[in-house]
Amino acid sequence: MNRVPTEDQQLCTFFVAGRTFGAEVSAMREVLTAQPLTRVPLAPQQVRGLINLRGQIVTAIDLRERLGFPPCDGKKAMNVIVEGDDGLVSLLVDEIGDVVVVSADDVEPPPDTMGDRARDLVRCVYKLEDKLLLLLDIEKTIAEVE
Amino acid sequence: MSDQSEMDEVIAEFLVESKEGLDRVDDDLLTLEKDPSNRQPLASIFRAVHTIKGTAGFLAYERLQSVAHAGESLLSLLRDGERAFDPEVATALFATVDALREMLAQIENTRTDGSKDYSGLISDLERLLRTSAGPDDEAAAAPAPPPSVAAASRAAAPAPPAPAAPSAKPAEPVVALPRAAPATPVAAKPAPPAAPEAPSDDGGERDAGAGRPPGPSGATTTSGAAPAGETSVRVDVALLDKLMNLVGELVLGRNQILQFAGLREDPAFQTTSQRLNLITSELQENVMKTRMQPIGNALHKFPRLVRDLALICKKQVRVEIEGENTELDRTLLDAIRDPLTHAVRNSVDHGIEMPDVRISRGKNPEGLLLIRALHQGGQVTIEIIDDGGGINAERVRDKAIARGLITPEQAQRMDESDLVNLIFLPGFSTAEQVSNISGRGVGMDVVRTNVERVGGTVDVTSRAGKGATVRIRLPLTLAIIPALLVGQGQENYAIPQLNLVELVRLEGDLARRGIERVQDAAVYRLRGNLLPLVFLDQLLSGNGSRPAEILDREVVNIVVLTAEERQFGLVVDRVADTAEIVVKPLGKLLKNTAVFAGATIMGDGSVALILDTAGVASCASLTSKTAKRLLQLNGQTGADARKDATVSLLLCDLAPTRTVAIPLQTVVRLEEVPRAALERLGDSTVMQYRGDILHVLDLGGLLLEAPAADEAPFRLVACRTAGGRQFGLLVAQIRDVVNRPSIAPLAVPRPGLLGSVVVDNRLVEVMDVARIASETIAFASDTEVAA
């Protein structure tokens, strides 16, 4: 696991299917409330649709689907906008959490027992006081699924 | 006179391109120095130098060409891993780049590449070629500036890397000139503007055409020296991009305001928004124009290029250019210059045969190279068509296997068109000899890399012995296009109007009865032609089989579209409106959904997907093979590369138990006619058909001697004889179109029969209807004359 960070860093946290995920603050562009989605027929499964972000068209990825969790029970999803290598991508999450500072001392590789799909996208796990925080590999998350 | 100015334009273009290329080479060389194992910059350097060499050759700059050639040879060794990249090589390559720059500056000022002697540099490069084992005793003298120094000195500009030329002729310093002594052009005539321009140092060369060289002297060039006219300004394309995006958003804002305006009664607000509307439209149009250029700008250099190239190859080639006014976004234009040059070069060098070969093959000794540009299906298509020998698929295959690009097993699974497209693989070259023109294994892969970088595609089709066509398709990104908005379910979709032919609305009875089926494909009779139908809801649900009740609608909206010369009807729920839309590309996650060309933002801020007509057509054909066959049947399919390999046959029932096949190539059209339409004219049956009298043969009557029941309407197959005469065949039922590799001949030939094929485990006779008709109708028309 050479992708495990060695320094303290600031993470923006969000919740998907009851779990806490984090991503480097530097990777995030902004956070939005639920947006009208345009469905894209024939698109890959994880693509929920397109949103209009001030004139830019942003692909919205359903993180539940991407991570292999069951679909959301109809609640409106929040948008976490991140920058991909060919434009902006929105990650649909259940809820947005705080920005937290995590220490490199608390880091562990993702446990082997995690679901395959999720483990592939989680770079490491931070042991916070009251919960575990999974650091999401944004680049992989928004990459094409073969 | 105009010839001269055209030439100037070509040269100016070459200068700009080459200088940009060399800038990149500088960067790449530095990268390479830091990490010699990185192969990517090497390939890029190689291409840049290759392009300069090639173009220099056509423009008859021999010095430039020879230096570039020597450099390229060395690069070729590096690329193939036969020589290690060491400081000495780096120095020599930097020196080459400097020498090229110097000559380019010279060309810019005097239109000649000067009289300077670069033999020292060339012999240096050649020595490096020979000592390919690596640094040895002889080399010891040269690597004076170690890599870091070389890099540093380049950054510091004034001190050029010491020329690695111990053996150079003492007369001229090899590379020291360009920066150290700006005002000493060695050329015979020191043209006045040479001084400020010549230095062309690291900051300056980017400014090729601009009249403000930030050269050390700071002096502005005098009168005639400014290569670009005073009325134009060079603007960064990135800035234009940004402007374009902003205007796009302004257009969307305008659309929203117009919607508000429609709801409000305030006259002042109405007037203001109208003005905003007009200004925005004009602004949009003009900003668009700043980015559009006729493709002719990139094409006009080819006739000359081909001419020179043909001279070198001792071939005769005529160039024709079509569609030079096709406008193309500037970024796209830039992106295709290189690929086009390579493709044209390849066609002349490899495609078109020597005159004597052409004569022996019964062709005009003068080959034809057609470069054609057109807007097609929301894309810009550029075709480079030669009438040469085509591409030998087997040779391509063998070469690809020999080079380890594919395995023999892979090759087995590939058909001919896959094989010829292997020429786009990096490192592929079928030329036996390394020629000065092409054949170093760069070329077609450059074409592909560059075209794909701007989101385009390139493919090649070859007709053995008849020539090859390289087809480059470029997307229309960034464009604002008129579109038709249609609704399907909850969503709206935009269809580029470019692809729109007409709208058909069927109501009530017509809606229920108008749509018919051939096998499982739905068709609509549009003025006598069978129009294959694609149902948008079915297409978008990805569901191939479609329940029949879809046809039971009160209203059917058919959008008649054309894609790649074929027409089809798209059945949608609603036809909403037309609008100007800004095409925005889809993210890479959605790149593979061929049905969509992009997305756009509607006036209300929602996102609508743009349907890609060609993508829709191909998707639909996949789900319904019969629809595709029908497309062929309507005779509107143009380029089916593999059509030659098979025989298409139309299956018809003459009676419930009797099925025959008719070669599809003789079929012009299918119709249903009531029996009442048939009339007698002497001994023959005729009908009035499209303002003409059509002779009709009752195939059932001829073959079975038992005409079908009188009251049943007939299916009429309109056919054409070899002589071009039309005639009709009456059949009871049209079944299907099948493709067969060949027709099995009969053991005992019978007139009127071509042979037989197997369909559904049954033998079906293939009728030679053209022959039957010419015999029968000839007889009939004779009696007509007699009567």
Tens digit of pLDDT for each residue in B464-505?
788 888 888 886 655 567 789 998 888 889 998 777 888 888
Using a CB–CB cutoff of 8 Å, tell me whether B540 touches chain A. yes
Q: Is B230 within a domain?
A: no
Q: How far, in Å, are B327, B374, B526, B715 from residue B501 at the CA level?
A: 22, 18, 12, 27
Q: Tell me the C-alpha distance between A117 and A98, whole Å.
A: 25
Nearest to A56 by CA among B248, B610, B331, B281: B248
Please give the single-letter amino acid code of residue B128: L
Mean local confidence (pLDDT), B225-249: 70
Quote the domain boundaries for residue B128.
2-213
- pLDDT > 90: percent of chain A: 12
Q: In what order do the strands lie in the sheet with B692-698?
A: B667-673, B714-720, B726-731, B692-698, B684-689, B678-681
- Give me the pLDDT at residue A39, please: 87
Q: Is B256 within a domain?
A: yes
Let me know whether B201 and B254 are in one domain: no
With CA atoms as reference, the chain B residue closest to A35 would be B606
Which pLDDT band holds residue B191 (cuts at 50, 70, 90)?
A: very low
Q: Tell me the C-alpha distance between B599 and B610, whole Å.
A: 5
Let me know whether B494 and B602 are in one domain: yes
Using a CB–CB cutoff of 8 Å, tell me whether B607 touches chain A. yes
Residue with the larger pLDDT of the pair B618 and B453: B618
Buried b (16+ CB within 10 A) or exposed e, A36-66: ebbebbbbbebbbbbbbbebebbbbbbbbbb
Neighbours of B24 (CB within 10 A): 15
What backbone phi and psi angles, to 5 degrees, belong to B465?
80, -10
Alpha carbon of A115: minimum distance to chain B alpha carbons (Å) = 23
- Give me the pLDDT at residue B406, please: 77
| CB contacts, 8 Å: B601 with chain A | 52, 55, 57
Partner residue opposite B599 with nearest CB, options A47, A50, A142: A50
Helix axes B625-633, B613-623, angle to 10 degrees: 120
| CB contacts, 8 Å: A42 with chain B | 540, 542, 593, 595
Let me know whether B728 and B768 are in one domain: yes
Tens digit of pLDDT for each residue in B115-163?
777 888 888 888 887 775 444 444 444 444 444 433 333 433 343 444 4
With CA atoms as reference, the chain A residue closest to B247 would be A55
User: How many CA atoms within 13 Å lie on the side-chain side of B324?
Assistant: 12
Residue with the larger pLDDT of the pair B223 and B494: B494
* Distance, C-alpha B375 to centroid of its chain: 10
The answer to whether residue B724 scores a pLDDT higher than 50 is yes
Cβ contact, residue pair B590, A56, below 8 Å = no
Using a CB–CB cutoff of 8 Å, tell me whether B241 touches chain A. no
Number of domains in chain B: 5
Let me know whether B200 and B349 are in one domain: no
Cβ(A39)–Cβ(A60) under 8 Å? Answer: no
Mean local confidence (pLDDT), B357-367: 87
Partner residue opposite B590 with nearest CB, options A52, A54, A59: A59
**A87 φψ region: left (φ > 0), alpha (ψ -120 to 50), beta (else):** left
Cβ contact, residue pair A38, B491, below 8 Å = yes
Tens digit of pLDDT for each residue in A26-72?
888 888 888 888 888 888 888 888 998 877 789 999 988 888 888 77
- Give me the pLDDT at residue B377, please: 62
The answer to whether residue B530 scores a pLDDT higher than 60 is yes
List of residues 6+ apart from B569 with CB closer than 8 A: B504, B524, B526, B531, B532, B533, B534, B558, B559, B560, B561
Q: Tell me the C-alpha distance between B158 and B471, whole Å.
A: 46
Which pLDDT band holds residue B204 (cuts at 50, 70, 90)?
A: very low
Cβ contact, residue pair A54, B249, below 8 Å = yes
Query: What's the CATH code of the domain at B243?
Result: 1.10.287
Q: Work out the burial of residue B64: count CB atoms within 10 Å of its CB; fewer than 13 is exposed, 13-18 middle, 19 or more buried.
A: buried
Query: What's the CATH code of the domain at B440?
Result: 3.30.565.10
Cβ contact, residue pair A59, B586, below 8 Å = yes
Instruction: Check residue B590 and report its DSSP letter.
Output: G
Let me know whether B417 and B283 are in one domain: no
Q: Tell me the C-alpha distance between B141 and B162, whole Å.
A: 12
And the tokens for A32? 């939005």
With CA atoms as reference, the chain B residue closest to A90 would be B587
List of residues 6+ apart from B463 with CB closer than 8 A: B390
Q: Is B218 within a domain?
A: no
Q: Which spans in B157-301 are helix H?
A: 177-180, 194-197, 237-263, 267-291, 296-299
Let me know whether B486 and B609 are in one domain: yes
Partner residue opposite A38 with nearest CB, options B585, B592, B608: B608
Buried b (16+ CB within 10 A) or exposed e, B155-189: eeeeebbbbbbeebeeebbbbbbbbeebeebbbee
Let me know whether B350 and B258 are in one domain: no
Cβ contact, residue pair B584, A56, below 8 Å = yes
| CB contacts, 8 Å: B248 with chain A | 55
Tens digit of pLDDT for each residue in B249-304?
787 788 778 878 878 888 888 888 889 989 988 887 788 777 777 888 788 778 87
Identify the structural domains of chain A with CATH numbers, from first to last: 9-139 (2.40.50.180)
Mean local confidence (pLDDT), B358-367: 87
Q: In what order do the strands lie in the sheet with A107-108?
A: A95-102, A9-16, A19-24, A132-136, A122-127, A107-108
Size of interface A-B (CB pairs under 8 A): 73
Using a CB–CB cutoff of 8 Å, tell me whether B250 touches chain A. no
End-to-end CA distance of chain B: 69
Using a CB–CB cutoff of 8 Å, tell me whether B595 touches chain A. yes
| Strand blocks (E) in B269-398 | 292-294, 317-322, 327-329, 367-376, 379-386
Q: Is B223 within a domain?
A: no
Q: Tell me the C-alpha distance between A82 and A35, whole Å.
A: 15
Domain end marker among B474, B506, B540:
B474
- Give me the pLDDT at residue B210, please: 37
Partner residue opposite A47 with nearest CB, options B490, B590, B605: B590
- Give me the pLDDT at residue A139, please: 86
Tens digit of pLDDT for each residue in B401-432?
887 777 787 777 777 777 887 787 766 765 54
Q: Tell me the C-alpha distance between A82 and A90, whole Å.
A: 6
Using a CB–CB cutoff of 8 Å, tell me whether B785 touches chain A. no
Residue with the larger pLDDT of the pair B215 and A10: A10
Please give the single-letter amino acid code of residue B554: E
Let me know whether B627 and B523 are in one domain: yes
- Give me the pLDDT at residue B228, please: 43
Cβ contact, residue pair B540, A41, below 8 Å = yes
Let me know whether B75 and B15 are in one domain: yes
Let me know whether B164 and B47 are in one domain: yes
Which pLDDT band holds residue B714 (cuts at 50, 70, 90)?
A: low
Alpha carbon of B565: minimum distance to chain A alpha carbons (Å) = 25
Using a CB–CB cutoff of 8 Å, tell me whether B605 touches chain A. yes
Using a CB–CB cutoff of 8 Å, tell me whether B491 touches chain A. yes
With CA atoms as reference, the chain A residue closest to B599 would be A57
The answer to whether residue B397 scores a pLDDT higher than 60 is yes
With CA atoms as reference, the chain B residue closest to A52 would be B607
Partner residue opposite B589 with nearest CB, options A41, A47, A52: A47
Q: Is B220 within a domain?
A: no
Cβ contact, residue pair B590, A36, below 8 Å = no
- Give me the pLDDT at residue B494, please: 92
Q: Tell me the C-alpha distance between B628 and B518, whole Å.
A: 11
Cβ(B429)–Cβ(B443) under 8 Å? Answer: yes
The answer to whether residue B691 scores a pLDDT higher than 50 is yes
Tens digit of pLDDT for each residue in B265-280?
888 888 888 899 899 8
Which pLDDT band holds residue A90 (cuts at 50, 70, 90)?
A: very high
Of A92-96, B357-361, B647-651, minimum mean pLDDT range: B647-651
The reported pTM is: 0.44
Q: Is B184 within a domain?
A: yes
Q: Tell me the C-alpha distance between B500 and B575, whole Å.
A: 12
- Give me the pLDDT at residue B646, please: 63
Query: What's the CATH code of the domain at B695?
Result: 2.40.50.180
Cβ contact, residue pair B588, A144, below 8 Å = yes
Which pLDDT band holds residue A91 (cuts at 50, 70, 90)?
A: very high
Let me know whether B246 and B362 are in one domain: no
Residue with the larger pLDDT of the pair B103 and B689: B103
Q: Is B246 within a domain?
A: yes
- Coil/strand/helix, residue B438: coil
Q: A-contacting residues of B 554-593, CB under 8 Å?
A: 584-590, 592-593
Domain end marker among B612, B633, B654:
B633
Of A7-21, A103-117, B29-43, B693-707, minimum mean pLDDT range: B693-707
Cβ contact, residue pair A55, B593, below 8 Å = no
Query: What's the CATH code of the domain at B545?
Result: 2.30.30.40
Tens digit of pLDDT for each residue in B628-663?
454 444 443 333 333 344 677 888 887 777 788 888
List of residues 6+ apart from B601 with CB closer than 8 A: A52, A55, A57, B252, B582, B584, B607, B608
Let me know whether B329 and B433 are in one domain: yes
Q: Is B225 within a domain?
A: no
State the pairing for strand pair B491-496/B480-488.
Answer: antiparallel
Of B25-39, B570-584, B671-685, B704-718, minimum mean pLDDT range: B704-718
Domain end marker among B474, B497, B528:
B474
The answer to whether residue B364 scores a pLDDT higher than 80 is yes
Partner residue opposite B606 with nearest CB, options A38, A58, A87: A38
3-state helix, strand, coil in chain A (%, to 5): 15, 45, 40
- Give me the pLDDT at residue B186, please: 39
